[in-house]
Amino acid sequence: MSSLIVRFAPSPTGHVHIGNARTALLNYLFAKKHRGLFILRFDDTDAERSKEAFVQAIEADLNWLGVKPDAVLRQSQRLALHSAAAHRLQEAGRLYPCYETPEELERKRKRLQARGLPPVYDRAALALTASERARLEASGRKPHWRFKLDHRIVRWNDLVRGECHINCASLSDPVLVREDGTYLYTLPSVADDIDQKVSHIIRGEDHVTNTAVQIELFEALGAGQRLPAFGHHNLLFSATGEGLSKRSGALSIGSLREEGIEPLAVAAAAVLTGSSATVHPVVSLCELKANFDLGEISRTQARFDPAELATLSARTLHGLSFEAVRERLAAHDITGRKAEPFWLAVRGNLSTFLDAVGWWRVVEAAIEPRIEEAEFLAQARDKLPEEPWDEGIWARWTKALKEATGRKGRALFHPLRLALTGREDGPELAALLPLIGRARAAARLSGHAA
């Protein structure tokens, strides 16, 4: 097994958006660049909000992006491990019961804020005697459990941000276990990271404060000698500076897929936005991996513009080889000897991949020609050379027409385009004409659907 192991741990409570995809891709590319392993681990311990439909959607979205996990795990199936970790902390005196209600805690916070003090939990529960705890429980109160932090400065060398430190004395002891016995994010995450030997934790900068708490938790659970390395990347924001939400569905991977955005464009935008590299088209994740460096990620806010993504997607299509799209074309019955020259002819004019299907109809199916200047088109039909045709047929044909009619420029080419394709613009006719063929071209020039 590789010694480098990373994980992406989404909560299946909504659809992943391009910001979540950024974290997944950064982990995946980091692992693959260093021949490590990538784990997809669903943080599904919140049984009420976690949905199987979201699990399946997240897996489908990652697969569409080309992210292939080496293992897929669910935290809800690992509760025995989490309970063992909680018991160990209780035995060590680091996990203690608290009985305040949410209303009581809120009043405490407001009193501290009114005095100009940080709203840090006062650890009043630690002063409770056994009889006082028993009396509270007899009255119907159930404890939530807090992790007792060491009031010290925790330091780490962040893979993105460099030297970091947080004074844990400024933090409230975090709640790890709710009143109903279910776990919040922190304990299962650390317990699973230890069990799965996760070596690097790469995530958004909104988790920076969590890192100090988790380092203490790693140490309390006996993993201090093999702490993972941490890297906190900047977050993606909308073009107007708003945060992205997986519950709103805005910029979700599924919606981008439905809009016809190319997965490689999403990957390039997700990884390169907010870094020192210019966002540019890539032809594979391998290309993206080769130039990937966590140290190139900026610490400033990363702005993401969907309009730029559409342009990037089109540019991505324009650079894709036939081999890269062969299976996708075949799924639309674009096969045979014409398939490759067809793709090379049309790719530079595509906005989305499905535009190619429309151009295949122009080449292979009957269309209604648009006839302007029928007399000129009749001359053009009569001067069509006999087959076989090659890539030089367009130049030879139009040269003969120019000499016979005196036409040139738009007056020569536009009526031919309308008749042959039924469209105002599109790929070079020099590439399309051999694919259309003589019989179909002659019929269209005569005004017949063909």
Residue-wise pLDDT tens digits, 290-304:
988 898 898 888 888
Query: In this predicted structure, what is the pLDDT of residue 389?
Result: 93
**Structural domain boundaries in the chain:** 1-75+186-319, 81-177, 322-364, 374-445
Superfamily (CATH H level) for 1-75+186-319: HUPs (3.40.50.620)
Provide the pLDDT for residue 2. Answer: 63
- Give the integer Cα–Cα distance in Å for 232 and 275: 13
Q: Enumerate residue ranges in the chain where pLDDT < 50.
A: 1
Q: Token digits for 130?
A: 């056994």
* pLDDT computed for residue 302 by the predictor: 84
Contact 426, 433 (CB under 8 A): no
Distance CA 424, CA 370 (A): 9
Kindly report the pTM of this predicted structure: 0.91
Per DSSP, 406 falls in state -
C-beta of residue 86 within 8 angstroms of C-beta of residue 146 = no
CATH superfamily of 81-177: Glutamyl-tRNA Synthetase; Domain 3 (3.90.800.10)
Tokens of 262: 């190319």
pLDDT tens, position by position, 390-436: 989 999 999 999 999 999 999 999 999 999 999 999 999 999 999 99
Whether omega before 174 lies within 30 degrees of 0, making that bond cis, reads no
**Upper half-sphere CA count for residue 26 (Cβ side, 13 Å):** 33
3-state secondary structure the chain: CCCCEEEECCCCCCCCEHHHHHHHHHHHHHHHHCCCEEEEEECCCCCCCCCHHHHHHHHHHHHHHCCCCCEEEEHHHCHHHHHHHHHHHHHCCCEEEECCCHHHHHHHHHHHHHCCCCCCCCCHHHHCCHHHHHHHHHCCCCCEEEECCCCCEEEEEECCCEEEEEEHHHCCCCEEECCCCCECCHHHHHHHHHHCCCCEEEEEHHHHHHHHHHHHHHHHCCCHHHCCEEEEECCEEECCCCECCCCCCCCEHHHHHHCCCCHHHHHHHHHHCCECCCCCCCCCHHHHHHCCCHHHECCCCEEECHHHHHHHHHHHHHCCCHHHHHHHHHCCCCCCCCHHHHHHHHHHHCCCCCHHHHHHHHHHCCCCCCCCCHHHHHHHHHCCCCCCCCCCHHHHHHHHHHHHHCCCHHHHHHHHHHHHHCCCCCCCHHHHHHHHCHHHHHHHHCCCCC
**DSSP-derived 3-state class of residue 243:** strand
User: Residue 130 to residues 94, 148, 179, 320, 377: CA-CA distances in angstroms?
Assistant: 17, 18, 18, 70, 99
Same fold, 1-75+186-319 and 81-177: no
